[in-house]
Structure formats: C-alpha cells, structure tokens
Amino acid sequence: MSSILDETVEVPRRTMTLFFLVDTSGSMEGKKIGAVNESIQNVLPMIEEISETNPDAAINVAALQFSTGTSWVYDEPKPAQDFVWQDVSADGLTCLGEACEELNSKLSRSGFMKAASGSYAPAIILLSDGEPTDDFDSGLAELKANNWFKSAIKIAIAIGDDADNEKLAQFTGTSEAVFTVHNIDALKKMIRIVVVTSSQVGSKSSAAGDTTKQKQVIEQVQDAQKEEITDAPSSNYDDWN
C-alpha cells in the first residue's frame, strides 16, 4: 500500500448537538423520573451508533435539568459514548423560563456551539409534566431571538394531562411538535422514538424541498406513534404515583 492511502484521515464532520431539557420538578418524582432516567440511559448507545456510522455529522449530547433552578448534567456537550447519564431526582418547582434563559446562554459559539468543524442546527427535546412556575414568557422571548434556536429541531414530550401543552407548543413553535404520553410504557417508547428520529434527521445533510428537518421528525414520530405506541387514555393515572 502507498503510505498516502495509509495516512487517510476521517473527513471533517460537523457536529449536531442533541439537547435534553428535563423537568425535574416535584411532580416528576417516582416512576416518571425513573422512566426518564432509564430511557435516556438506554438511548445513548443508539445515538452513538448513529453518530459513528454517519459521514455527514457527529452527534454530541447535552442535558439540562430544571426544577427550582437549572443545572447542566455536564458543563459541555459530549459524544454519546462519553456521556454517562447520572440519574436525576425530582423535587421543587418548574422553572422553564429560567431553563430557556440558560439554554439561550449556551446556544452560541462562545457557549456550547464551538465545534471545530462547525455544526448542524441542534435538536432540542423538552420533557415536562407540568406548568411553568416562573416567568416563562420572557425566558422564551429571549430564547426565540437566538438563531441557533430558530433553526433547531424542537420537540416536546408532554407527560400526562397536567403538562401545559400550550406553553410547550410555544416552545416548539407548533402544537404538532408536542407529543403527549399517558403512561410509563408510552413515555419510554416516546423518548426512544423522538431521540432516535431527531438524531437521524438532525445529523444528516438535509433533503431538498420545503420540508424542514423539524417537520420530517414530526412526521416520522407520528408514523412511529401509530405503529408502536398504544396510548389509550385511561380513567385513572394510578401508575404515575
């Protein structure tokens, strides 16, 4: 072999950062937060596989938990294989407004978006089961002016009927991007489907035409939902307790 071929290096790949915004307020306590912990842990190897075999882009993961305050699981985005999910516990209020501000501060080249070979627009997955308890509107207004946020794939998973779907739709920009689940099994499946689909679509060079990546993710999740998630509303939600 010629050593020039031996010296071939990987093509420079852009990075697509996948953000988890996880509601860890008191109402999430118990099975809900347990299911979130388990699902995110389980989906990380799938993200790794999508990233490893994709010549268009690599995927990094970042996670922000919000309750009475906010905190990042790691202080920088990491490849899925290096992202060890630490189980989060639930307690306190639902400061989604503050979470928007915190996300806004990191959606910049001086924040989390400083990948050497540039980025694809991020995918942001918001999980919540309740109403924001702080000044959500001004937090969101600030975030909505952010160009990274504008072009991001934004999907929300509303857990149970107490989630404020209207606020979640304001966050994602469309009510179609809010997926409601009513039981633990459906929540686990939904996290997997949304994360895998967002990772696949977000980390690939886009298709031409007028369909945005967010729209593609919505359509694919809707299809998968028909296939997989039987989520008939039940008369009581005992299994949330």
Of the pair 39, 200, the CB lying nearest other proteins is at 200
Taking CB under 8 A as the binding criterion, the range among 6-14, 26-34, 72-80, 178-186 that sits at the site for other proteins is 6-14
Q: Taking CB under 8 A as the rule, does residue 213 contact other proteins?
A: yes
Q: Taking CB under 8 A as the rule, does residue 208 contact other proteins?
A: yes
Instruction: Specify which residues 61 forms β-bridges with.
Output: 18, 78
- Answer whether 25's CB lies under 8 Å from 90's CB: yes
CB of 231 to other proteins, least distance (A): 18
Report the residue from 109, 138, 162, 174 that binds other proteins according to the rule CB under 8 A.
109
- Answer whether 15's CB lies under 8 Å from 51's CB: no
List C-alpha distances in Å: 57 to 7, 44, 45, 80, 195: 21, 16, 16, 13, 16
Q: Taking CB under 8 A as the rule, does residue 3 contact other proteins?
A: yes
CB of 188 to other proteins, least distance (A): 17
Q: Which amino acid is at 182?
A: H
Angle at 108 between CA 103 and CA 110, to 5 degrees: 115
d(CA 84, CA 74): 9
Of the pair 207, 232, the CB lying nearest other proteins is at 207
Q: Taking CB under 8 A as the rule, does residue 234 contact other proteins?
A: no
CB of 183 to other proteins, least distance (A): 21
- Answer whether 162's CB lies under 8 Å from 131's CB: yes
**Which residues contribute to the site for other proteins (CB under 8 A)?**
1-12, 14, 52-56, 109, 113, 116-121, 147-148, 151, 200, 204-210, 212-213, 220, 223, 227
